[in-house]
A = this chain, B = another copy of it.
Amino acid sequence: MSPPPEPGGSDTGTVRWRLRVAYDGAPFRGFAAQEGQTTVAGVLAAALERVSRTPVAITCAGRTDAGVHALDQVVHVDLPTDRSAALDPATLVRSLNRLLGPEVVVREAGPAPDGFDARRSAVARRYRYLVVNAPVPDPLLAPLAWHVADPLDLRSLRAGADALVGEHDFRAFCRRVPGTGPEVPIHRRVTDARWTLLERRPVRPVAAGTVGPAPVGEERGPGLLPAEGRLYAFEIEANAFCHQMVRALVGTLVAVGRGRLRPADVPAILVSADRARAAQPAPPHGLTLMAVRYRE
């Protein structure tokens, strides 16, 4: 069942538009508009206002923190019916992308389905966290991945992540909402939590002067894997996330991968509901909002 149309929806002289947006989080103080700060919502609203010639308020599916990236953030805005009628989706995308810098890209825009709300209609969010595990950092991956020099054990990372799947009280991994006490449970349903080792870039044979096709096994060679060491991706999907939840989980799982905690400590920390027992949150630049799911 879809939620009822919002005030400002199509029944009050406005048309709701849905946009899919990708951004590099580095230059922004997060998604949500803040007076006097450069935010994704701020630059996006400015571009939309310029194109639609009307003030807009942006609602997003997942408010990302400062430094966190997105490949598929979903937002909605309500435009007066007459302004909306003047907009062609493909032209709007082109106009917005001309106004926005390379850090924010509108992938798609169009009138939203009836009753659509970018935040309230979303049934799941998916995040990815990248970790480069190598003795020295990789300058090309530095903006997108946390560099961890200590060797990480993939089996331990995975055992720790397994404990997260299911519905749990995630208080131990959440930054407190202002005005709420530590006694308030924060239930979230995690439907997927997995670590993937992205394949190491194969070393090509050194025979100078060799001509001809490389073995098939090298076809994945030229990808964006690190210069050396390993690139790990943690992916997690849940109905919703509380503040800093993915980063707190990754910080704790990496402590498990390093051997500072045991995999069994992860469910124990969950049950304790004690934020002091979780590790420091992983840095924001490794995190990307990958997808938002809606009911069909």
Contact = CB atoms under 8 A, between A and B. Distances in A.
Interface in A118-171: 123-124, 126, 128, 130, 136-144, 165-166
Interface stretch (A4-12, A79-87, A101-109, A267-275): A101-109
A92 interface: no
Given A144-B140, A194-B214, A227-B71, A208 B124 contact: yes
- For this complex, into which size category does the number of interface residues on chain A fall? 35 or more
A102 B141 CA distance: 10
A136 B105 CA distance: 7
Interface string A17-38: 0000011100000000000000
Contacts of A194: 213-214
Contact of A191 (B140, B142, B192, B209): B209
A91 to B, nearest CB: 13
Interface string A184-197: 00000101101010
Given A69-B140, A198-B222, A214-B192, A227 B24 contact: no
A290 B138 CA distance: 13
A126 B144 CA distance: 25
B198 A211 contact: no
A273 to B, nearest CB: 23
A295 B102 contact: no
A233 interface: yes
26 contacts: A22-B140, A22-B227, A24-B139, A71-B140, A71-B227, A72-B227, A97-B136, A102-B137, A102-B139, A104-B139, A105-B139, A123-B208, A128-B222, A130-B224, A141-B224, A165-B211, A192-B214, A198-B222, A204-B291, A206-B293, A208-B239, A208-B293, A222-B233, A223-B223, A223-B233, A224-B224
Interface of A: 22-24, 69, 71-72, 93, 97, 102-107, 123-124, 126, 128, 130, 136-144, 165-166, 189, 191-192, 194, 196, 198-199, 204, 206, 208-211, 213-214, 219-224, 227-228, 231, 233, 235, 239, 288, 290-291, 293, 295-296
